[in-house]
Amino acid sequence: MSWQGRRVLVTGGAGFLGSNLAHALARRGAVLTLVDSFEPDGGANAANLEGIEGEICLVRGDLRTLENLAELLDGQEFLFNLAGLTSHKGSMEDPFRDFSVNAAAQLRLLEALRHGGMRPRVVHASTRQFYGRPRWLPVDESHPLDPPDVNGIAKLAGERLWLLYGRVYGLEVTALRLTNCYGPRVRIKDARQNFIGLWIRRILEGEPIEVWGGDQLRDLTYADDVVAAMIAAAESPATVGRPFNVGGFPAVSLRQLAERLIAAHGGGCYVVKEFPEAQRAIDIGSFEADDRAFRAATGWVPKVPLAEGLARTLAYFRPRLADYC
């Protein structure tokens, strides 16, 4: 499928995954509109959009309050919905805010689509978080849902709303349940987006990596592979109306991940610590996604192995620390 001249709206477009997606679609010739609230504790960063090919329309605004949603949606052929909060600890500290962004704002966007009569093809970025503590590994889409925190509950509500409106009002929606994503443009200032971002900052600044626990398994997906999955979902009729896991290569323990990050950097160290009490209560333990359904529906497979992805990520941030810290 050609993306040349296709009109595409990306919410969360200045954030980690949104900006990587924007770069990829711009190279394909898409006509892009990016919406982002630029919340200070979110992933948006003006540096994420530097070097993007072609012209884009960047709208600074919050989906909870934007008054011209209908205008932004009008004429869009594709909607990649990546706006949201990702901090699990933050969701417990301010549950009302998390729910307003990850659930209520989604409903507002959906109502704008419904009342405007607009029917763009939609790819909604969801999460593996609401599976909770796995009962089996790898986790497939039939696994029971048991969100361990407010973020998981709000994200589940958001996903269910998108799939409901798709079924009832004829929207073509695919939900992708993403796991630990990493790569260029990830938030590294702290761990509000994910833990690996903070690890990257610490190793580049010569500080020890803090590994909580250490034996938990995590599967990671490099940004380019996540973007390829989103584009594949948008292009595949077989994914409409369904949620899919999107994983990566085989899972590694957090200790192994720290060791591989140190190897990719050529030096560094890590220390193993006990989980802080607030984090232990919402930790899901080990996780590995079973994404065979998505691979079968689209032909997508991850292409960037962990060692290569870590090396690419470090190379991106080394000369740009000032822009991201």
The 10s digit of each residue's pLDDT in 4-38 is 999 999 999 999 999 999 999 999 999 999 999 99
pLDDT tens digits, 130-182? 999 999 999 999 999 999 999 999 999 999 999 999 999 999 999 999 999 99
**Which pTM value belongs to this model?**
0.96
Domain ranges of the chain: 7-185+220-248+288-304
Burial class (CB in 10 A: 0-12, 13-18, 19+), 115: exposed
The arithmetic mean of pLDDT across residues 78-85, rounded, is 96
SS3 of residue 246 by DSSP: strand
Q: Report DSSP letters for 207-235, one per residue.
A: PPEEEESS--EE-EEEHHHHHHHHHHHHH
Give dist(CA 138, CA 142) in Å, integer: 11
Q: Domain 7-185+220-248+288-304 maps to which CATH number in 3.30.56.10, 3.40.50.720, 3.30.530.20, 3.30.460.80?
A: 3.40.50.720
pLDDT at residue 258, rounded to an integer: 97
Helix H segments across 182-305? 195-204, 223-235, 254-265, 277-280, 292-298
Cα 163 from Cα 147, distance rounded (Å) = 18
User: What's the chain's average pLDDT?
Assistant: 95
φ, ψ dihedrals at 59, nearest 5°: -110, 120
